[in-house]
Amino acid sequence: MLSSKTVDSTMKDVAANPTHVADQRSEALTPQTEEQAQDQDVPQLQTKDLEGVSEGLLDKAEGVDIPAGGAIGSAKQEKKNAGQQRQKNVAVLTSGGDSAGMNAAVRAVVRQSIARGCQAYIIREGWEGLVRGNTSEPTPAPTPRRTPSASATQSPQLQPQGQHHKSVSFSSLPPSKQMELESTAKARDDQSRLAQEEARVHFTDAGSVAPLSNAPLSFGFGELLKDGAGEGDLEELAAHGLQGVAVADEEDEQGRSLKGRYIVRVGWDDVRGWLGEGGTLIGSSRCPSFRERAGRLKAAHNLIKYGIDCLAVCGGDGSLTGADKLRGEWPSLVEELYVSGKINDEQREAYQHLNIVGLVGSIDNDMSMTDLTIGAATALHRICESIDSISSTASSHSRAFVIEVMGRHCGWLALLAGVAMGADFIFIPESPPTSDDWETEMCDLLQSHRKVGKRKSIVIVAEGALDRNLKPIKPDYVKDILVDRLGLDTRVTTLGHTQRGGRPCAYDRILPTLQGVQAVQALLEATPETPSYMIGIQENKITKVPLLEAVAQTQAVATAIENRDFAKAMSYRDSEFQEMLQAFQISSSLSVSDEAPKDKRLRIGIVHVGAPAGGMNAATRQAVRFCHNRGHTPVAIYNGFEGLLDDNVAELSWLRVDTWTTRGGSELGTNRTLPNIDLGNVAAGFQRHGLDGLLVIGGFEAFHSTLILEQNRENYPAFQIPIIHLPATISNNVPMTDFSLGSDTSLNALVEACDAIRQSASASRNRVFVVETQGGMSGYLATMGGLAVGAVLIYTPEDGISLKLLREDVEFLTNRYMLDTKGKSEGRLVIKSEKSSSIYTTEVLTKIFREEGKELFDARSASLGHTMQGGVPSPMDRTRAARLALRCMQFLESHAVPNGQSAHSKGSHRNKKAYSTETAAMIAIRGSKIVYATMEEVLKHTDMKLRRGKDEWWSDVKRLAEIMGGRQGLIASM
């Protein structure tokens, strides 16, 4: 039973908790001079002002020439002295196979690094790019002059556009004016030095944000990367007789090119718009040369050239193993580079240690010690979208389809697709068919489905599927069996690489962002003694685990399968995997061997209460299939408790619910009516239909209904049956559960709508859209949706809206648009929960932004309304529904007594308490665990007036979203 103790916040460490790390002052080193850099073949990018501005411009103030030996000229020496506390350089690369969400991870690493006062680099083409390094120097964009008080690391683009000053010779000014100017400049320098010192050591404090004025907004390579710029090899084109062909990506309008450049410094805006892009914009490739020491030696040299000592790697187990190998060899590689004269004494001393962290990008979800990998959820979306289309034609022609999905050593995709789509049979490597004659086992099952009237048959095969003798099971062979033995018109579809691509789903934007932020934290905390970490997620918390340990356990699964130890292979999978397999087997089986004894069979009522939510029908389907599997009778109560009063009740057959998995809304019908509308007649309805247990599916009203029934058990013995509430609401406002059915579907609807709105906003260049979401008094949708779509501002009921907050937000938007390159502003989104404020409505906010934006930006509004409730449920909501409904039915079966209403009607228990409070409960997702909470426990964590929980695990994510959107950094600059 779940304790009433407040549960630890699940994402707070990622979002805001101030975790102080060891002081890095001991790593202080003087920067290299330009001459040293040339001697060591170090690119000029490292020794000049990193935005391409020459040192001479630092000695000019508002167009006034200043003597090098004056007060302002001392800024150079201060800049050099400041180097005694070396700024961290963080690089990120993607390697191995691509997966949706990698771009979100890169964006998060880049922006969090800058927010922590570090320099950010991307490495194109994975390990291959790191081995190649750069063969050409960057051509920086023209930049305006900066004032002498500007930080040495300040981006020139942070000066508002349109400022021009006439050049005047310093010596021509009157002495009094010269003294005034020098005094003013010195005061500014003092302030700048203090601010710079704060920013330079900023990475020691995880809870603060570096002012964005201390960071570059752009180095100009973001558009080239986003446009898919490659090498553009003119010689190769000429060799094929294509002389004179224009190479679109050779250089942009500013003369910049990525040709020959694989290590690129990037700024804040260089990764804008990346959240919604599939694959990896910085490229990924296999790198045989990195497997050799000579290749790793080149990689180490290139990292040292650019001062990179923190590396985030997003890839599969092979890529992460390579990363750890590089770190393990690092001291010897550095020594070899020093002996060969490729690095000097200072570099040798400075780069004794390489910090590495891994992010798992894999659509197979095959990494151990993490519940989900980047890209897996989107791949499941692509599979379900494809099978949705296939199912309709399969039913039309009464065909069978054999569908092959990815998964060499992990059957996660095949299993969850089978659950989400209501497939008939699946083949996965961890759990082969129980019989050596699996062909007969499969045919018997499909034939039983056809006998009850099912028109289609769907069989899903993982690419690594095996039988118990390790013989591969191939789709074409399965097809031949179905044709030869059952005479079914059968087709084979291999989904292939369509599973990898496409727009990332909501979860594959949120998860990589949270993990990318934690990756930067892990890099900045790392010491020579700490191992390389892999960033994962377990029990809804972002975690870091030893990388090699995770890789070893992952490889152990493949070893167990090779040894035919399938039980051991399954033990390495999490509890959710095992429960999903059980849910699938129950929902697809018509076997009578699992039926309960006749004297233990029950009549179980199923009712929907509250607003519709994606997953309600999938949960109902699983509950009905469980009843038929065990010999119980599922009793559907249509239209909520009003339907019970109207006696709108019927039994559901096995086939009736077959296609309900993919249907949105509520097939049973639902409303917000509570049972206290007429408790006497509700109790009579329970008795009339002989209910031995009740499953209540819905949101806060469903919880309230269960509470009312539990509180009235003493007066109405008919309510003394086991009752369980399964949370289903798009608002995710039911207390004590991390997720409710429908919340993921709604998040994806929000993301899809906001992607379209952002296109409009960006096309207009200078437009802000205020997007209103549903959610009641809970800001879950606005907060998590804002993080997923890259919103710059988020308004929630929990925080409300004040005049002071609005003033800051208007100032932020104004300053942010002033910093955009003219003609290349970004369309920006503001997400507002519908009940954030009764005064500052969406319309009022839009008018305020439009008025204050003046010529800088325009404002429009969009209300998503009930579109967030409809549509096809997401695969995650479908699979959660199956898992939770299975556990709900097991709860009812374990507590219910057959013919319980008959005993109550005889009055045998009328004068004494014949029930336990534990038999009225809510099922809750707590991390990766499923728990049952009594109504008393849930009530302790509930704000009944505001209709939400008192402890919301996602509350601190809002601040993280505003850090990623730039608000926190720019507000800190003001």
**Could you state, in order of their start, the residue ranges of all structural domains in the chain?**
89-137+218-231+258-371+505-538, 376-499, 595-741+873-901+916-943, 744-871+957-972
The annotation status of 860 as a binding-site residue, yes or no, is yes
The annotation status of 319 as a binding-site residue, yes or no, is yes
Architecture of the 744-871+957-972 domain = 3-Layer(aba) Sandwich (3.40)
Q: What is the pLDDT of residue 900?
A: 76
What is the pLDDT averaged over residues 68-96? Answer: 58
The annotation status of 317 as a binding-site residue, yes or no, is yes
Q: What is the pLDDT of residue 97?
A: 84
Q: What is the pLDDT of residue 218?
A: 87
The annotation status of 286 as a binding-site residue, yes or no, is yes
The annotation status of 147 as a binding-site residue, yes or no, is no
Per-residue pLDDT for 66 more than 50? no
The annotation status of 497 as a binding-site residue, yes or no, is yes
Q: What is the pLDDT of residue 675?
A: 96
Cα–Cα distance for residue pair 350/87, rounded to 1 Å = 12
Question: What's the pLDDT tens digit per position in 326-343?
Answer: 999 999 999 999 999 999
Enclosing H/E stretch for 694: strand 693-698
The annotation status of 407 as a binding-site residue, yes or no, is yes
Going by the DSSP 8-state scheme, the letter that residue 253 receives in this structure is T
Q: What is the pLDDT of residue 425?
A: 96
Q: What is the pLDDT of residue 960?
A: 93
**Contact predicate 566/560, CB 8 Å:** yes
Outline where DSSP puts E strands in 100-240.
Answer: 119-123
The annotation status of 36 as a binding-site residue, yes or no, is no
**Contact predicate 220/256, CB 8 Å:** yes
What is the pLDDT averaged over residues 379-395? Answer: 93
Per-residue pLDDT for 34 more than 60? no
Question: What's the pLDDT tens digit per position in 839-876?
Answer: 999 999 999 999 999 889 999 999 998 888 878 999 99
Contacts of 671 (CB under 8 A, 6+ apart): 609, 610, 639, 640, 642
- Residue 697's DSSP bridge partners are 608, 726
Confidence of residue 65 (pLDDT cuts 50, 70, 90): very low
Q: What is the pLDDT of residue 901?
A: 80
The annotation status of 774 as a binding-site residue, yes or no, is yes
Q: What average pLDDT does the structure give for the chain? A: 82
Per-residue pLDDT for 83 more than 50? no
DSSP, residue by residue, 215-248: S-S--S-HHHHHTT-----HHHHHHTT-TT---T
The annotation status of 332 as a binding-site residue, yes or no, is no
From residue 627, give the alpha-carbon distance in Å to each of 180, 619, 640, 690. Answer: 88, 13, 20, 15
Per-residue pLDDT for 36 more than 60? no
What is the pLDDT averaged over residues 170-197? Answer: 60
Going by the DSSP 8-state scheme, the letter that residue 777 receives in this structure is T
More confident of the two residues 143 and 474: 474
Outline where DSSP puts E strands in 416-556.
Answer: 425-427, 457-462, 490-494, 533-538, 541-546
Confidence of residue 972 (pLDDT cuts 50, 70, 90): confident
Question: What's the pLDDT tens digit per position in 198-223?
Answer: 444 344 455 668 787 767 788 888 88
- Structure-token pair, residue 209: 């944000």
Q: Identify the CATH assignment for 376-499 out of 3.30.300.30, 3.40.50.460, 3.30.470.10, 3.40.50.2300.
A: 3.40.50.460
DSSP, residue by residue, 747-771: HHHHHHHHHHHHHHHHHTSSEEEEE
Distance between terminal CA atoms of the chain? Answer: 51
Cα–Cα distance for residue pair 22/896, rounded to 1 Å = 57
The annotation status of 967 as a binding-site residue, yes or no, is no
The annotation status of 287 as a binding-site residue, yes or no, is yes
Q: Confirm whether 476 is a catalytic residue.
A: no
The annotation status of 911 as a binding-site residue, yes or no, is no
Cα–Cα distance for residue pair 464/167, rounded to 1 Å = 71
More confident of the two residues 205 and 463: 463
Per-residue pLDDT for 806 more than 80? yes
Task: Give this prediction's pTM.
Answer: 0.84
* Most trustworthy range by pLDDT among 273-277, 578-582, 704-708, 953-957: 704-708
The annotation status of 563 as a binding-site residue, yes or no, is no
What is the pLDDT averaged over residues 76-93? Answer: 62
Amino acid identity for residue 934 in this structure = T
**Contact predicate 293/168, CB 8 Å:** no
The annotation status of 99 as a binding-site residue, yes or no, is no
Between strands 310-315 and 89-94, the pairing is parallel
Cα–Cα distance for residue pair 835/772, rounded to 1 Å = 9
Per-residue pLDDT for 907 more than 70? no
Per-residue pLDDT for 167 more than 60? no
Per-residue pLDDT for 836 more than 70? yes
Per-residue pLDDT for 626 more than 80? yes
Catalytic residue, candidates 364, 371, 820, 858: 364
Question: What's the pLDDT tens digit per position in 630-643?
Answer: 999 999 999 999 99
The annotation status of 742 as a binding-site residue, yes or no, is no
The annotation status of 733 as a binding-site residue, yes or no, is yes
Q: What is the pLDDT of residue 571?
A: 87
Q: What is the pLDDT of residue 902?
A: 74
What is the pLDDT averaged over residues 387-396? Answer: 91
The annotation status of 767 as a binding-site residue, yes or no, is yes
Q: What is the pLDDT of residue 171?
A: 57
Residue that is written with structure tokens 């050409």 in the block: 136
The annotation status of 500 as a binding-site residue, yes or no, is yes
Q: What is the pLDDT of residue 414?
A: 96
The annotation status of 608 as a binding-site residue, yes or no, is no
- Structure-token pair, residue 201: 């050591």
Amino acid identity for residue 496 in this structure = G
Confidence of residue 169 (pLDDT cuts 50, 70, 90): low
Amino acid identity for residue 303 in this structure = L
For 896-933, what is the HEC assignment? Answer: CCCCHHHHHHCCCCCCCCCCCHHHEEEEEEECCEEEEE
Q: What CATH number should be reported for the domain whose range is 89-137+218-231+258-371+505-538?
A: 3.40.50.450
- Annotation: CATH topology of 595-741+873-901+916-943: Rossmann fold (3.40.50)
Question: What's the pLDDT tens digit per position in 866-888?
Answer: 888 878 999 999 999 999 999 99
Query: Lowest mean pLDDT: which of 251-260, 555-564, 665-674?
Result: 251-260
Q: What is the pLDDT of residue 212?
A: 79
Per-residue pLDDT for 245 more than 60? no
Q: What is the pLDDT of residue 534?
A: 94
Confidence of residue 462 (pLDDT cuts 50, 70, 90): very high
The annotation status of 399 as a binding-site residue, yes or no, is yes
Cα–Cα distance for residue pair 427/414, rounded to 1 Å = 7
Q: What is the pLDDT of residue 810?
A: 95
Q: Do 744-871+957-972 and 89-137+218-231+258-371+505-538 fall under one CATH topology?
A: yes
- Structure-token pair, residue 40: 């060591």
